[in-house]
Structure 1
Amino acid sequence: MNSHRTLNNVLRIKRLYSYLNKNRTQWLSTFDITATQCDILMFLYDNMDNKEINQKSLEEYLMVSNPAVSGVIKRLQDKGLISSKQSTIDARNKCLTLTKPGLHCAQTIIEKGRDSQDLLLIKGMTKEEADQFQKLLNHALKNLEVKKGK
C-alpha cells in the first residue's frame, strides 16, 4: 500500500478523534463532567451487574495508566458521583460503584443522547455502509491490538 495513503488515513483518524472529542467535551460540559469521567460513569453503569469493578478494570478498558485513572476517580468521588469500598474478594482492591447522583447522571446522559456522536459519525450513510464502516473500524482496531501484543 502507498505509504502516503496510509499517512493520510492516520491523519484522518486523528482528525476524526479531534472533532469527536471536541464535540463530546462541549456536549458533556452541560453535565459538568469530562469525556473521561463520562467514560467511567458509562462503564460503571453498563457493568452494574458485575459484583466488583476495580480500578484495574477501568485502566484496561480506557487503556490509560494507573495515575491517570486515579485522578479521574478522585474527581468523580469529589463530585459525589462514585464511591469506593474495599473488595470482598481481594482486600488489596477497592470496588467502584455509582452513587445515587452518579446513577442519575449516567441515566440522564443516556436519555439525552450518549450515542449522538456515533449517529453523527454515520450520518448520511446507508445501513449497509454503516455496517461496513463498523466492520472496518473493528478490523483496524484488531490489527493494532495484535501488533501491540507482539
Structure 2
Amino acid sequence: MRRETFNFGRSVKQLSNIMEMRFNQSLKQWDLTSSQFSVVMYLLHNQDQEINQKMIEEAFLLKGPTVTGIVKRLVEKDFILRRLDPQDRRINYLELTKKGQALEPLVCKEITRLETDTLRGISAEHLDLLEELLIQVLKNITTPTADQD
C-alpha cells in the first residue's frame, strides 16, 4: 500500500534540484554549469556531424535565447568555436576546442563519483528495479493515453 505522505512529483523535483546543485558545485573547478556541460557532452558525442544551435535547442528542449547565452559563454571560456554557415549566415555551427575535448575524461570521472555517492547503500537488485521503474515512468509520461487522443 502506498504511503499517503509520498508526493512523487515533489520527490523527483527535490532529487533533480539537489543533484543539479551538487553537479554545478563540482563543475565550478572547470568554470562550467551543468547546462554548459550538457552542450559540451552533446558536441562530444556527435563529433561525426555538423551541429548547429537549432539542434541544441531541439535536443535539450530549450528556447533560442537560452541556447545563445550558453553558447556565448562556452565560446568566451574557449570550450567551443562558433562557425557561420557560408550559405546562410543565420546558422552557427558549433565545434569543440581542444580545451572542450579535454573535459570528457575529467568530468566523467566526477559524474561517476557523484552517482556512486548518490546511490550508496542501494543493492544491485534495487538499482535494477529503480531503473526499470524510472523507464516505466518515462514511458508513461511520454506516451499519450487513450483519453488524451
The TM-score normalised by the length of structure 2 is 0.82
Structure 1 pair 107–67 and aligned structure 2 pair: CA distance change class (3 A): same
How far apart are 1:80 and its partner, in Å? 1.0
The 1-side partners of 2:111 and 2:41 are apart by 9
Mapping 1:73-92, distance limit 5 Å: 73-87=71-85, 91=88, 92=90
The 2-side partners of 1:73 and 1:31 are apart by 16
The 2-side partners of 1:141 and 1:43 are apart by 21
The residue aligned with 2:97 is 99
How far apart are 1:86 and its partner, in Å? 3.3
The residue aligned with 2:19 is 20
Mapping 1:63-78, distance limit 5 Å: 63-78=61-76
* Contact persistence 2:26–2:110 (CA under 8 A): no
Runs of 4+ in structure 1 over 4 Å off: none
The structure in which a higher percent of residues are helix is 1
Letter in 1 for 2:116: L
The residue aligned with 1:109 is 107
Letter in 1 for 2:121: G
Asked whether 1:129 is paired with 2:121, we answer no
Structure 1 pair 120–94 and aligned structure 2 pair: CA distance change class (3 A): same
For residues 37-92 of structure 1, give each alpha carbon's deviation from its aligned partner in whole angstroms, at most 9, with x where no partner exists: 1111111112222x21121221122222111111000100111110122348x745
In structure 2, stretches of 5+ residues that fail to align are: none
In structure 1, stretches of 5+ residues that fail to align are: none
CA RMSD for the aligned pairs? 2.5
Asked whether 1:142 is paired with 2:145, we answer no
Identity %: 30
The residue aligned with 2:115 is 118
The TM-score normalised by the length of structure 1 is 0.82
| Greater Cα shift, 117-126 or 17-26 | 117-126
